[in-house]
Each structure stands twice: as structure tokens, then as C-alpha cells.
């Protein structure tokens, strides 16, 4: 009941904000106006109407709060769905809000059930960063280690849960109102967003991600991962080491410390590709603010709230896509896409193949220095959108991460060529793909599957027989291409008749040869020669006919 009242209150607030920015007509038509019956159709002023519709959308999202800001940020990377002016406005969305008044000492005592003064030497009461979901405070443990405390805002979980329910309701109304909106399949995007924001709300999940990231890079030089403290963490509080470093986008500070920005760019790309291709677990939001360079020249990724994981099958499919691009095999590329797609509703396969080939041709080795990886990814997304292809969310996160990282890389080195950096990884993929160890493992795996299938076969046959005996077996068939079937049957019967004739001639000729029936040529019956010759000619004709059909 309380949750329903909160949802109603948030809905009324949303209608009020959108009406303020000139979107009251949507609610007039959708029926949401009944939630606030006394409100005018459009409460926006002249100043608001002087703005473009895209500016008004951005301002409305900012006023609506954290869930809408993050949704806008997510859509800011979907050039395949939204017009360019709206993308430009959405990229202006900032996830920084005024800090909430919070007694951190008391908050820790309530959340962790301990006396903070017995564990923390000091805690700075003013947050060093205040985002829409959490605030970050500097602190120092009793052992002298400098740490940061990430503390969730009060009631943020309930607010976002209510907003997610409202978003679903609103999207269903919009899809019912517009076939064009329905064709965009935005519900898939919203479901992915819901999963992402739930992950970001779970600080224990972020702690687990940091620990996994640290294990992956254990012993790897050139990177530092913050240590976490589980005893001072829960779902609302996260304690980890403070990383002292320079933002990777601060060129002046990097040069002042004697660092070479192009080398930093290559190092960052190398570490990111290791996350994707080696670990299958990567940072999904590598914008410049989330990458630091430590005084020792190490790279530090921070803010692990948005991570993405690739299953072994996902990694293999990703490798297959890369190999298809290298080898210029659009058909195989489409075959891999079809295998991994959540929704594949392509109406014109020939056009899709032509589009993919055009993309591959654009990324050919002769033109690598003239294009950005972001250009290729944006074009690929557009092709998928135009052909109603929807991929799992982690592939979109991967595309987003590569685009963000390339943007950061170009800040450090305007002449950077990402495809050149990727070349060693593609060579390694080819080497590993055809290595004896991998081929042996794969064949062992297939043998195990075959053995398992043989083990299960008697049970399957028993179940089939039981269903037949109980009259519970139903066979549904559909005849498609009856003309082609008739032609295939005709050819098959003709070949069978020829095969019978060949068998008869061969057997008869063998009997004649054994009986040495005259006339003889070099001691072999002439009729036997003729029989074997006709058999050979007919056999070759069958083989040629089968080869031609194939």
C-alpha cells in the first residue's frame, strides 16, 4: 500500500514536470491526466517554449531525478535509435546533484552495527563527490590507511523502484499510442537498464566486482586496483582504498609529472582489451573521470558500479565476429549475429549482407588510419536497428566502452589508431583458435557430449515408446515447397533405379567373367567388359548429377 502511494506520488510529480516542459499533450492522450485532475493541459511558460524539444527533454530528465538521468545517459549512446540532436543533449546530462545532509558517523553505526570511532581515525564530513545514488567521503583507518566511503542516499532504493514501475507503465502507453515507438522495441532497452541500475544500487555487488577485477589482474604490471574492506561494507556502504592519481584527461598535469600521454593511451587500451578478451569481465563505463594515472605511472579504473561479463560462449562469438571482419566474410558474420541475437527479424538478407560487406570494406586495412572505431560501431548499430536485430545488452555495453575509451585515447594522442592496437589481439585469437591444445579440448568436449547423448538415448526411446502406447504422441507437420519436394523425389527415384541397374550389370558381368563365356579378349569375356563399362558410365553420371545439384 505504501509502495503504491509512493508510485502514485512519483507519477503525479512526473506528469507535473513534463507538463512544465511542454509535454502535457502526451498525458492528455494517454489518460495519465486523471492522476492530477486539476492541472492544466500545459503549464510551461514562454521561456520553456523558446527551447528546442530536445533541450526540454534533457531538462525534464534532470528535474525528474536519478533514474531518469541514468536512463538518458544510457540512451545517449544509442545513435541507432535516436536523432543526433537528442543524442547531443542527452550527453550533457550530469549525474551530480547537491549533497545530502548526512551524519556519516551515525550512518556507519546504524548500517554496520559498530562504533566507528573504534575503527576510523578520521572521516571528513563533507563529501568529495555527490552523485544521484551515493556520496563519497574521505576517511582514514586506525592503521593509517587512507580509504573512501561510498554511502547510498536515504530512500534512493524506493524512489528508483517506483520510477522503474512508472517507466514501464509509460512505455506501454506510448507503444499502444504509436506503432513507430513499438517497432523500436524499447522495452528490451528498459529491461537492460533496470538490470544495470539494480547492479549500481547494490554496493555489495560493486564490492564483489572490485574483488573479481583485482583477482583477474593479480600480478599484472601497469595497473592498480583498490583493496576493499568487507567488514566496513554492506549493501548501503562500501569501504575501499583511496587511489591517489591524476584524471587521464588532465594532459597538463600528466605532462607536469613527466608522463607521456600517447604511452598512457596505449597502456589503457591494452589493459581494456585484456579485460574483454582474456577475462571476459570488463568496466562498462570507462569515461575519463573513471580512469586515473597514479604517481607510479599505473592505470587505475575506479567506480565499478557498471560492469559487464561475457560467458565463454560470448567470448567465442566475439572472437568469431572479429575473425569474420578480418577475413571479409559477411555471410559468416551474419550467421554469428543470428546465433547471438535476442531478436532477429531481418526481412531482406541480401540487403543485410550488402550492408555488412560495406562496413567490412570500410574497415579494410588500407583505410584504417582514416576512420575511428566509433564510426564503425555507430554504423554497425545502425545496420542492426534498420534490420530489427537486437543483441544482448553486454554487447551494447562493449560497444559503448570501446567508443568511450577511443574518445579518451584521442584526448591523449590525436593520432592514435585503435585498429592498429587491436591487430596483435586478432593474431593471438587466430593462433589460439587453431592451437593443438584448443582443438584437443574441443574434441574431448564433443566426445563427452556424444557419450552423454548415448547414455541418455535409452531413456529418451523409453519415453517415446511410452507416449506412443498411451496415444499421447502428436506429430505436427507442414509441407512447404511441395514442387521442390516432388522434383527431389523424382531425382532420388531415378538415381535409385540407375543404382539397381548398375548393381545388376556388375553382378552379371562378374558371373560372365567367372564363367569365361566367349568371345574372349585377352582371356576375359567381351560381354563382361561391356557390362563393367556401362556400370562405370552410369555410376559417373550419378556422381556428376549429385555434384551439380550440390
As a whole number of angstroms, the distance between CA 21 and CA 37 comes to 18
430 and 539 fall within a common domain? no
- How many other C-beta atoms are found inside a 10 Å radius of the C-beta of residue 391? 18
Q: Rounded to a whole number, what is the largest CA-CA distance in the chain?
A: 117
**Cell numbers at 499, concatenated:** 543404382
186 and 228 fall within a common domain? no
CATH number reported for the structural domain that contains residue 235 in this entry: 3.30.200
As a whole number of angstroms, the distance between CA 214 and CA 296 comes to 18
Looking at the domain assignment, is residue 249 inside a domain? no
Is the dihedral angle over the CA atoms 420, 422, 424, 426 positive or is it negative?
negative
109 and 221 fall within a common domain? yes
Looking at the domain assignment, is residue 251 inside a domain? no
104 and 232 fall within a common domain? yes
Q: What is the pLDDT along the chain (550 residues), one digit of tens a residue?
A: 445 666 677 777 777 887 787 776 555 555 555 544 444 455 555 566 678 888 888 888 888 888 888 888 888 877 777 788 888 888 888 666 778 889 999 999 999 999 999 999 999 999 998 888 899 999 999 999 999 999 998 888 888 888 888 888 777 777 777 676 676 677 777 887 888 888 888 899 999 999 999 999 999 999 999 999 999 999 999 999 999 999 998 999 999 999 999 999 999 988 998 999 889 999 998 988 899 999 999 999 998 988 999 988 888 888 888 878 777 888 899 999 999 998 888 888 888 888 888 887 776 544 445 567 778 888 888 888 888 888 888 888 898 888 888 888 888 988 777 767 777 777 777 777 666 666 666 666 666 666 676 677 777 777 778 777 777 767 766 655 566 667 777 777 877 877 788 777 778 777 777 777 777 776 777 777 787 788 788 778 777 777 777 6
Domain end position, chosen among 364, 399, 434 = 434
Looking at the domain assignment, is residue 534 inside a domain? yes
Q: Whose CA is closest to 150, among 196, 200, 113, 195?
A: 200
Q: How is residue 329 annotated by DSSP?
A: -
H helices of 115-201, in order, are: 156-177, 179-183, 186-201
152 and 233 fall within a common domain? yes
**Cell numbers at 427, concatenated:** 593474431
Task: Give 78-112 as a 3 state SS string.
Answer: CCCCCCHHHHHHHCCCCCECCCCCCCHHHHHHHHH
The SS3 assignment for 303 reads coil
269 and 231 fall within a common domain? no
Helix (H) or strand (E) holding 152: strand 146-152
389 and 497 fall within a common domain? no
Confirm if 270 and 421 have CB atoms less than 8 A apart: yes
Looking at the domain assignment, is residue 469 inside a domain? no
188 and 279 fall within a common domain? no
405 and 355 fall within a common domain? yes
- 435 vs 209, 429, 441, CA distance in Å? 32, 10, 10
Please tell me the total count of domains within the chain. Answer: 4
293 and 402 fall within a common domain? yes
Domain end position, chosen among 434, 462, 493 = 434
307 and 418 fall within a common domain? yes
Looking at the domain assignment, is residue 430 inside a domain? yes
359 and 388 fall within a common domain? yes
Looking at the domain assignment, is residue 26 inside a domain? yes
Domain end position, chosen among 404, 434, 464 = 434
Domain interval for residue 266: 257-434
Confirm if 24 and 45 have CB atoms less than 8 A apart: no
Amino acid at each position: 500500500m505504501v509502495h503504491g502511494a509512493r508510485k502514485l506520488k512519483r507519477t503525479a510529480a512526473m506528469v507535473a514536470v513534463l507538463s512544465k516542459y511542454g509535454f502535457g499533450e502526451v498525458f492528455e492522450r494517454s489518460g495519465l491526466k486523471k492522476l492530477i485532475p486539476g492541472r492544466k493541459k500545459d503549464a510551461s511558460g514562454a521561456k520553456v517554449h523558446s527551447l528546442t524539444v530536445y533541450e526540454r527533454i534533457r531538462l525534464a530528465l534532470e528535474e525528474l531525478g536519478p533514474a531518469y538521468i541514468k536512463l538518458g545517459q544510457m540512451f545517449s549512446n544509442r545513435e541507432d535509435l535516436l536523432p543526433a540532436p537528442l543524442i547531443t543533449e542527452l550527453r550533457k546530462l550530469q549525474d551530480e546533484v547537491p549533497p545530502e545532509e548526512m551524519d556519516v558517523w551515525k550512518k556507519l553505526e546504524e548500517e554496520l552495527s559498530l562504533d566507528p570511532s573504534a575503527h576510523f581515525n578520521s572521516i571528513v564530513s563533507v563529501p568529495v563527490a555527490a552523485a544521484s545514488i551515493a556520496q563519497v567521503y574521505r576517511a582514514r583507518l586506525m592503521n593509517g590507511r587512507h580509504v573512501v566511503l561510498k554511502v547510498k542516499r536515504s530512500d534512493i532504493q524506493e524512489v528508483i523502484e517506483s520510477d522503474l514501475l512508472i517507466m514501464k507503465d509509460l512505455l506501454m502507453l506510448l507503444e499502444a499510442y504509436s506503432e513507430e515507438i513499438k517497432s523500436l522495441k524499447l522495452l528490451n532497452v528498459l529491461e537492460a537498464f533496470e538490470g544495470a541500475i539494480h547492479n549500481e544500487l547494490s554496493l555489495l555487488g560493486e564490492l564483489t566486482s572490485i574483488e573479481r577485477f583485482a583477482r583477474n589482474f593479480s600480478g599484472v604490471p601497469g595497473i592498480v586496483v583498490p583493496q576493499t574492506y568487507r567488514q566496513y561494507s554492506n549493501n548501503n556502504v562500501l569501504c575501499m582504498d583511496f587511489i591517489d592519481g591524476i584524471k587521464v584527461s588532465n594532459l597538463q598535469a600528466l605532462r607536469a609529472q613527466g608522463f607521456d600521454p600517447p604511452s598512457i593511451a596505449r597502456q589503457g587500451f591494452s589493459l581494456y582489451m585484456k579485460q574483454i578478451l582474456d577475462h571476459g569481465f570488463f568496466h562498462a563505463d570507462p569515461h575519463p573521470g573513471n580512469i586515473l594515472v597514479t604517481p607510479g605511472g599505473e592505470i587505475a579504473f575506479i567506480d565499478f558500479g557498471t560492469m559487464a561479463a561475457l560467458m565463454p560462449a560470448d567470448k567465442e562469438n566475439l572472437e568469431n565476429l572479429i575473425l569474420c571482419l578480418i577475413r571479409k566474410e559477411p555471410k559468416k558474420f551474419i550467421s554469428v549475429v543470428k546465433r547471438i541475437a535476442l531478436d532477429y527479424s531481418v526481412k531482406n538478407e541480401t540487403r543485410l549482407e550488402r550492408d555488412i560487406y560495406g562496413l567490412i570494406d570500410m574497415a579494410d586495412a588500407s583505410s584504417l588510419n582514416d576512420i575511428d572505431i566509433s564510426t564503425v560501431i555507430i554504423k554497425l548499430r545502425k545496420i542492426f536497428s534498420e534490420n530489427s536485430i537486437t543483441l544482448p545488452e553486454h554487447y551494447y555495453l562493449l560497444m559503448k566502452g570501446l567508443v568511450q575509451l577511443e574518445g579518451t585515447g584521442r584526448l591523449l594522442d590525436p593520432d592514435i589508431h585503435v585498429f592498429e592496437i587491436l591487430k596483435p589481439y586478432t593474431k593471438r585469437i587466430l593462433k589460439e583458435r587453431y592451437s593443438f591444445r584448443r582443438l584437443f579440448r574441443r574434441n574431448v568436449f564433443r566426445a563427452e557430449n556424444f557419450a552423454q547423448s548415448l547414455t541418455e538415448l535409452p531413456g529418451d526411446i523409453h519415453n517415446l515408446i511410452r507416449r506412443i502406447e498411451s496415444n499421447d504422441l502428436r506429430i505436427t507437420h507442414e509441407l512447404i515447397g511441395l514442387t521442390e519436394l516432388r522434383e527431389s523425389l523424382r531425382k532420388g527415384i531415378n538415381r535409385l533405379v540407375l543404382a539397381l541397374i548398375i548393381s545388376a550389370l556388375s553382378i552379371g558381368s562378374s558371373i560372365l567373367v567367372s564363367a569365361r563365356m566367349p568371345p574372349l579378349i585377352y582371356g576375359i569375356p567381351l560381354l563382361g567388359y561391356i557390362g563393367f563399362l556401362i556400370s562405370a558410365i552410369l555410376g559417373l553420371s550419378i556422381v556428376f548429377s549429385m555434384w551439380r545439384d550440390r
